[in-house]
Structure formats: C-alpha cells, structure tokens
C-alpha cells in the first residue's frame, strides 16, 4: 500500500504541474528576467503548489498509519498537526510572494510563524546533545531560538539555491531520500514516510522543472521544501548525540555551504547580508564555462556525495567521524577557493598548501 501511495504522489505531481502552470499565468504568478536571473523569458512560477498538493494527497492516504506510528516514534501527537499547520503558513507565504512579491520582512514573518507553530504546538525542540567524549550539553532556554533558527535557516538555504532549472527541486529530492534512508537505519518510520512522500512529489515536479524548465517552483516550492526538510531532519536526529546532530548538516551540505559562504562573501565585500548577487555556487560554475545542465548535474553529484558521507559518518567511531568531518571541511574549502565562491582572490588554503614544497630525496 505504501509503494502505491508513493506512485500516486509521483503521478499526482506530474498531472497537477501543468494545471498549476495555467493557473500561474492566469493570476500573474510569473517570473520576469532581469540582470540577476539566468532565464531569458517570462516563466510561470507557483510550481511548488503541485508538490504541496501531491504531498497532502500522500498524507491523506497514509493518515491512519501515521496516527498509529505517532505514539511510538514521537513523544507528542500534536507534532503531526503542527507540521501540517506550519506548512499551510509556509505555502500561503510562498503563494503571496509568487503573486505579489511581498517584502523580505513579511516573508520572514511567515517563516517565524510556521517555526513557532512547530516548536510550541508540536513541542519540537533541540534541548540537548550528548558530547562525543562524554557529558551532555543542555541548551536550556536557548533550545527554542536554536530550533527556530534551524528551521528558518534551512528554509532560506533551499530558497537561495533556487537559481537554475531543476536545482532546488533536485537537491531537495536528494536530501529527502538521504533523510529517509537515515531514518530507516535509525528506526524512525514516521520521518522516513514523510520524507519519501515529499521526495517523490518533488521528483514528479522535476519532470517539468529540469532544464529547459517549463515552470519554476517559486517561493511556494522552495520555502515548503526547505521547511519540511528542516523539520524532518530535527525529528529524525534531535536529542541523541553530537554525531546525530551533525548528520542532517552533512546531508544538507550543499545549501548550507552555499548560504554560509554567501554570508562570508558579503562580509568580506562589505555588503549588506540581504544584498542579492550572482556569486552563488551555480553562478560560479556557469562562469567557469559549464553549461546550465552541467552545472545542475555537478551540484546534484555534490549532494549525492554529501549524502554518502553522512552515511559513512553515521557508521564511524568517534575518531573516525572526526576524521571524516575534517576531510570534508578541507575538501569544501578547496572547492570554494577553486571556483571563487567568496572572491576571486580568496585562496588562503591553496596559498598555504603551495608553501609546502615536496622533499626531493636526491638533494639529501
């Protein structure tokens, strides 16, 4: 029955997307080209509505199973209701932005309200972590702002990478499959089910969104996918160990890294943090000469690698996991410097590595 549900969600998304495309043109939810954007013609957005409706169809089908799983997997039954209510707020925020282009403050207010619902109605908080070498770190009253910051941060991280055809949808789908796989390993069927339903709904939309795209997901889709990914990652990995806390960060390595270095870039260049630019990961790959499709596929490959590293990390010993993290951080920094993600002349690690000359045994 569950595999049938996934098939229904996938094909529902395929059927709904052309209908949403017509609706987008009818109500004026279109994206006009400008100097910051890659596309050259007016494009319909609002495509995330097809993903969301397909997600709701899947939820409606598995609702009885979800209720039976809640008491086992989640300490508070209200979390299921909180996720749905929060998603409604997020979708309304996205629809408003796709049709009316609301201000960043109003958009942020919608995200804060959605995260507030999840934290307080759903009682979802990162209250503590068990440290790798013993002891426990309690967040106390900071657990609420930390949890809300995670939800809002990941939501915006997915939104920021939505710059090329199929990019946000593909990266989100890969992340959702990785989260579902890790949830399966950790014995959390509720997170696995919701992640898979969302993943196949996004995959169905990707049929129309991959380059050359016929429709954009818009903020409706990017905010929804970011919101759900952030909440599911908290549900699957919170309050266990330091290693479990790091797993979702690795899975979401592409959007998190891109957002982190966007902040660094603006600080280095003395620009406002909210200032738009064309120096995100996908922009850098395009400048290096990769085609639109190649840039997207490269970032897909990066997302898959992050997912694989997360699996290796979860199966490692404490020392092994530290080595994995160190190797990953060095690799990220080298890539950032190679492609000029911060600035063309920002190459501290590469310059440091050039300072080490190989030892020639013949000179001894």
pLDDT tier at 74, thresholds 50, 70, 90: low
DSSP code at position 241: B
More confident: 189 or 278: 189
pLDDT digits (tens, 9 = 90+) for 310-341: 888 888 777 888 898 899 999 998 998 888 88
Tokens of 55: 């997600």
DSSP string, 168-194: HHHHHHHHHHHHHHHHHHTT-HHHHHH
Query: What is the pLDDT at residue 362?
Result: 53
* CA R_g for the chain: 21
Does residue 364 surpass a pLDDT of 90?
A: no
pLDDT of residue 314: 80
The pTM score is 0.88
- 319 class by beta-carbon count within 10 Å (0-12 exposed, 13-18 middle, 19+ buried): exposed
The whole-number pLDDT of residue 64 equals: 61
DSSP of 52-111: HHHHHHHHHHHHHHHHHHHHHH-S-THHHHHHHHHHHHHHHHHHHHHHH---HHHHHHHH
Distance CA 158, CA 300 (A): 14
Average confidence (pLDDT) over 57-82: 70
**184: how many CB neighbours lie within 10 A of its CB?**
16
What would the two tokens of residue 278 be?
């064309």
Give residue-wise pLDDT tens across range 163-173. Answer: 888 999 999 99
**How does pLDDT run across 80-90, given as a tens digit for each residue?**
899 999 999 99
Q: Residue 46 has which token pair? A: 């609002």
What mean pLDDT comes out for the span 185-190?
85
Q: What is the pLDDT of residue 272?
A: 74
For the chain, the structural domain boundaries read 2-352
Q: Which residue reads 């049929």 in tokens?
A: 207
63 vs 231, residue with greater confidence: 231
Directed axis angle between helix 242-251 and helix 167-185, to 10°?
150
Average pLDDT over residues 42-65: 89
pLDDT of residue 66: 52
For residues 258 and 255, what is the distance between their CA atoms, to the nearest angstrom? 5
The candidate with the shortest Cα–Cα distance to 117, out of 159, 73, 148, is 148
For residue 200, pLDDT over 50 is answered with yes
What is the model's pLDDT at position 106? 93
Per-residue model confidence (pLDDT) at position 321: 81
Q: Phi and psi (nearest 5°) for 279?
A: -125, 20
**Distance from C-alpha of 207 to C-alpha of 199, rounded to nearest angstrom:** 13
The percentage of residues in the chain with a pLDDT greater than 70, rounded to a whole number, is: 86
**Per-residue pLDDT at 72 exceeds 50:** no
Lowest mean pLDDT among 15-19, 41-45, 131-135, 269-273: 131-135
| Residue-wise pLDDT tens digits, 259-298 | 888 888 888 777 776 666 777 888 888 888 899 899 999 9
Residue 220 phi/psi, 5° resolution?
-55, -45
> What is the rounded distance in angstroms from the CA atom of residue 84 to the CA atom of residue 227?
11
The CB density around residue 115, as the number of other CB atoms within 10 Å, is 27
Mean pLDDT on 32-38: 60
Q: Cα separation of 190 and 232, whole Å?
A: 9
Can you tell me which residue has the tokens 């529902």? 12
- State the Cα–Cα distance between residues 350 and 103, nearest whole angstrom: 40
- Burial annotation 229-263 (CB, 10 A radius, 16+ → b, else e): bbbbbbbbbbeebebbbbbbbbbbbbbbbbbebbe
| 116 contact partners, CB below 8 Å, separation of at least 6 | 148
- Check: CB of residue 220 under 8 Å from CB of residue 231: no
Give the model's pLDDT for residue 23: 94
| Residues 94, 95, 96, 99, CA torsion sign | positive
Of 200 and 129, the one with more pLDDT = 200
Bigger pLDDT: 238 or 180?
A: 180
pLDDT given at position 128:
74
**Per-residue pLDDT at 243:** 64
Binding-site residues: 159, 219
Rounded to the nearest angstrom, the gap between the alpha carbon of residue 134 and the centroid of all alpha carbons in its chain is: 31
Phi, psi of 12, deg, nearest 5: -60, -40
Residues in binding site for Mg(2+): 159, 219
> Rounded to 5 degrees, what are φ and ψ at 241?
-140, 170
Mean residue pLDDT across the chain: 85
Contact 199, 177 (CB under 8 A): yes
């Amino acid at each position: 029955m569950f595999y049938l549900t996934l098939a229904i969600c996938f094909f529902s998304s395929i059927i709904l997307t052309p209908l949403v495309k017509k609706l987008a043109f009818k109500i004026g939810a279109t994206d006009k080209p400008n100097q910051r954007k890659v596309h050259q013609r007016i494009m319909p957005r609002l495509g995330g509505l097809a993903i969301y409706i397909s997600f709701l169809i899947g939820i409606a089908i598995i609702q009885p199973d979800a209720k039976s799983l809640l008491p086992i997997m989640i300490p508070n039954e209200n979390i299921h209701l909180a996720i749905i209510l929060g998603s409604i707020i997020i979708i309304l925020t996205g629809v408003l932005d796709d049709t009316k282009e609301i201000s960043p403050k109003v958009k942020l207010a919608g995200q804060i309200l959605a995260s507030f619902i999840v934290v307080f109605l759903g009682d979802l908080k990162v209250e503590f972590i068990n440290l790798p070498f013993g002891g426990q770190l309690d967040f106390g009253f900071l657990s609420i702002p930390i949890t809300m910051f995670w939800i809002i941060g990941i939501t915006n991280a997915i939104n920021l990478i939505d710059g090329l055809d199929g990019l946000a949808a593909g990266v989100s789908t890969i992340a959702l499959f990785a989260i579902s796989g890790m949830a399966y390993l950790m014995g959390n069927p509720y997170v696995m089910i919701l992640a898979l339903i969302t993943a196949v709904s996004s995959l169905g939309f990707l049929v129309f969104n991959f380059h050359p795209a016929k429709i954009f997901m818009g903020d409706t889709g990017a905010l929804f996918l970011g919101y759900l990914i952030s909440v599911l990652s908290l549900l699957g990995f919170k309050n266990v160990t330091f290693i479990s806390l790091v797993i979702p960060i690795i899975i979401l390595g592409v959007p998190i890294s891109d957002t982190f270095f966007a902040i660094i870039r603006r600080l280095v260049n003395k620009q406002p943090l909210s200032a738009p630019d064309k120096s995100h990961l996908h922009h850098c790959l395009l400048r290096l000469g990769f085609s639109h499709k190649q840039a997207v596929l490269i970032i897909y490959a990066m997302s898959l690698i992050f997912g694989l590293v997360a699996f290796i990390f979860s199966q490692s010993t404490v020392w092994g996991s530290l080595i994995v993290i160190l190797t990953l951080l060095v690799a990220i920094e080298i890539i950032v410097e190679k492609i000029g993600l911060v600035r063309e002349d920002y190459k501290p690690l590469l310059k440091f590595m050039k300072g080490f000359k190989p030892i020639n045994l013949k000179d001894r």
